[in-house]
Amino acid sequence: MTEQQLYEVAYNAHERAEAAACEAMYAHLQTCSIEALACLADPEWNWKSRSWMSETIIDYASEVLNEKLEAMVA
């Protein structure tokens, strides 16, 4: 395998792993209660300091919370 081929294979592995992790996070957050999502989205709880993934989790929690709230009023 050439260095270029190795780079391409590793790049694709990274991209697919990242996409799978994001899909799994989003799917899990869709199963959470509105109260849990609101807590995650609330900056006063300082979830950003929890882990390296926290910012993505917070963003997704906010998106899912908005979707659930919109569905309630629709």
Tell me the pLDDT band of 74, cut-offs 50, 70 and 90: confident
Q: Is the pTM of this model over 0.75?
A: yes
Domain that holds residue 67: 3-73
| Count of structural domains within the chain | 1
First to last CA, the chain: 55
At a CB cut-off of 8 Å and minimum separation 6, what does 37 contact?
29, 61, 62, 64, 65, 68
Tell me the pLDDT band of 73, cut-offs 50, 70 and 90: very high
- For the segment 32-63, what is each residue's pLDDT rounded down to a tens digit? 999 999 999 999 999 999 999 999 999 999 99
**Alpha carbon distance 60, 28 (integer Å):** 10
Q: What is the pLDDT of residue 38?
A: 97
